């Protein structure tokens, strides 16, 4: 929509934001009006271009095709211009026939700060002509009130709910119309059922909705501070009410006329099952995090036992083997520690590798030769399935570079990572003595090649660098993240 505005119109950023707010909230009007809505923007050559459209979920659509980007029909341009000039809702005198059915058309000026910045076409499908029910009459009357607010510059509300509080409930979930005192003028059957499940047993029409609902709220349940404003229809906001195991989501839209609140349209939906599933997911997430935390604690205990055993050993070979096992277990524990702090099975691997690199730094410090570690690039976020083998592989590669390449004279180990989408390339570079053939048969190298081939399904290569040192290149395609 912003691209179409930039190409065809000349309106201010504040006007563009107003149109975005309108489009974000106009599904309610489309459903209430049983009509398609098309937002027409006046162009610099005295024409109109469609920059957004909305189809009703309560009735048949007029436009089966996408008309965004097209120009207004010649026969409707005069009505659009009249609505812009007069700032009044203009209805076409006669229905327009498409061949199979008739369409009733209205032009609603979109007013902001006293200026008309666009026009909405309200197009009603007249193919199924019948006597409207009481529910349909209240739907259309509510739509007429909101359309009048658009023409007066009072809709959308600049301080309306945003984020997850915006959009739902929908019109079909349940509708309540309130007067200026917060008393119920009409409640749809779905709305009555929702309040009945909450515990309302008496008739609510003619009564204050706030006075009906408030006694049903249990003292143990937290109460949203905005709830009274929503129940009275005084704020364009959304709130949740819980009682007796039932959860209702309510969204209010005040109806104003020249700044005076005349009533409100209240949408209500029973979200008990949705909230139950959310609680189950939260419980499962907490359980998974606790499992990772306990696994991390157990692995750290194993690593501590291996360290104690290594210190007591008198055999240099056994001591080195235990130290290597301790380091690998500690690396895996680091991954589980990171997983225990997230709500999903995805970790920031730059942080994980930073912790694992400190284990290699301990090896370098124990060796006595000065070793400098340099990191270039970033790994990004990876799944738990990739994080563990990747951490073990890189820890082994860095440790091997320290032990076999820099053990005597010291030097620099550089870990350079680059990522394009899911493809990760990592290079571990040292300026030591070069590739040691005897080290290629060691346990660490076997662990690395096995994990690369069987777990990461990647490739790895060792090469001597010109001027001395070794360069190890690892390339793999990471698992896809569900975010």
**Using one digit for the tens of pLDDT, what is the confidence trace for 403-413?**
776 766 778 88
Contact partners, residue 6, CB within 8 Å, separation at least 6? none
Whether the link from the prior residue into 156 is cis, omega within 30° of 0, is yes
For residue 387, count CB atoms less than 10 angstroms from its CB and return exposed for 0-12, middle for 13-18, buried for 19 or more.
buried
Is pLDDT above 80 for 368? no
Tell which CATH classification among 3.30.565.10, 3.20.20.70, 1.10.3720.10, 3.60.110.10 matches the domain 345-483: 3.30.565.10
For residues 56-75, give the mean pLDDT. Answer: 91
Is pLDDT above 80 for 301? yes
d(CA 38, CA 277): 37
Query: What CATH number does the domain located at 163-270 have?
Result: 3.30.450.20
For residues 197-203, give the mean pLDDT. Answer: 89
Give the residue with greater pLDDT, 120 vs 345: 120
**Contact criterion met (CB below 8 Å) for 151 and 109:** yes
pLDDT digits 0-9 by tens, 129-153: 667 899 999 999 999 999 999 999 9
**Where residue 119 falls among pLDDT bands split at 50, 70, 90?**
very high
Long-range contacts of 323-326 (CB under 8 A, 24+ apart): 324/399, 324/443, 324/444
Partner residues linked to 123 by β-bridges: 36, 105
**Where residue 481 falls among pLDDT bands split at 50, 70, 90?**
confident
Class of domain 2-151: alpha beta
Lowest mean pLDDT among 16-20, 49-53, 72-76, 340-344: 340-344
Contact partners, residue 376, CB within 8 Å, separation at least 6? 414, 415, 416, 417
**Percent share of the chain, pLDDT over 90:** 38
Give the residue with greater pLDDT, 436 vs 309: 309
Which tokens is 360 given?
Answer: 């290699």
Q: For residue 224, what are the CA distances in angstroms to 262, 274, 402?
A: 24, 18, 58
Is pLDDT above 70 for 465? yes
Is pLDDT above 90 for 115? yes
Place of tokens 């997911």: 281
What is the predicted pLDDT for the residue at 35?
95
Place of tokens 């905005």: 226
Is pLDDT above 60 for 165? no
């Amino acid at each position: 929509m912003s691209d179409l505005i930039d190409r065809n119109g000349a309106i201010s950023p504040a006007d563009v934001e107003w149109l975005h707010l309108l489009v974000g909230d106009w599904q309610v009007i489309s459903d209430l009006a049983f009509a398609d809505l098309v937002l027409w923007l006046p162009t610099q050559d005295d024409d109109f271009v469609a920059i957004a459209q909305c189809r009703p979920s309560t009735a048949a659509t007029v436009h089966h095709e996408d008309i965004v980007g097209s120009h207004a029909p010649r026969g409707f341009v005069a009505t659009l211009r009249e609505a812009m000039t007069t700032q009044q809702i203009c209805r076409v005198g006669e229905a327009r026939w498409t061949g199979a059915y008739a369409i009733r058309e209205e032009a609603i000026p979109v007013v902001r700060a006293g200026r008309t910045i666009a026009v909405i076409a309200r197009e009603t499908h007249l193919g199924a002509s019948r006597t409207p029910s009481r529910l349909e009459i209240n739907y259309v009357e509510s739509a007429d009130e909101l359309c009048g607010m658009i023409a007066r510059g009072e809709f959308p509300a600049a301080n309306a709910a945003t984020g997850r509080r915006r959009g739902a409930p929908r019109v079909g979930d349940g509708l309540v119309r309130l007067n200026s005192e917060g008393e119920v003028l009409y409640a749809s059957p779905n709305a009555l059922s929702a309040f009945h499940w909450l515990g309302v047993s008496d008739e609510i029409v003619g009564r204050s909705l706030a006075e009906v609902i408030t006694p049903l709220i249990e003292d143990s349940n937290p109460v949203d501070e905005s709830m009274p404003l929503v129940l009275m229809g005084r704020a364009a906001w959304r709130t949740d009410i819980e009682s007796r195991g039932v959860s209702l989501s309510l969204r209010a839209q005040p109806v104003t006329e020249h700044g005076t609140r005349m009533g409100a349209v209240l949408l209500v939906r029973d979200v008990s099952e949705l909230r139950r599933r959310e609680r189950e997911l939260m419980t499962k997430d907490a359980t998974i995090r606790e499992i990772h935390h306990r696994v991390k604690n157990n692995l750290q205990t194993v690593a501590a036992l291996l360290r104690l055993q290594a210190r007591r050993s008198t055999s240099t070979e056994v001591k080195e083997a235990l130290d290597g096992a301790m380091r690998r277990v500690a690396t895996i524990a680091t991954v589980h520690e990171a997983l225990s702090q997230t709500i999903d099975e995805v970790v920031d691997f730059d942080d994980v590798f930073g912790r694992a690199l400190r284990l290699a730094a301990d090896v370098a410090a124990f060796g006595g030769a000065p070793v400098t570690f340099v990191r270039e690039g970033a790994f990004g976020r990876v799944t738990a399935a990739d994080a563990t083998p990747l951490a073990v592989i890189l820890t082994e590669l860095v440790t091997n570079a320290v032990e076999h390449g820099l053990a005597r004279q010291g030097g620099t180990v550089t870990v350079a990572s680059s990522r394009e989408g899911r493809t990760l390339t990592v290079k571990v570079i040292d300026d030591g003595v070069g590739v040691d053939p005897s080290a290629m048969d060691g346990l660490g190298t076997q662990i690395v090649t096995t994990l690369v081939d069987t777990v990461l399904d990647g490739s790895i290569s060792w090469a001597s660098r010109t001027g001395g040192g070794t360069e190890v290149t690892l390339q793999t395609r990471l698992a896809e993240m569900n975010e």
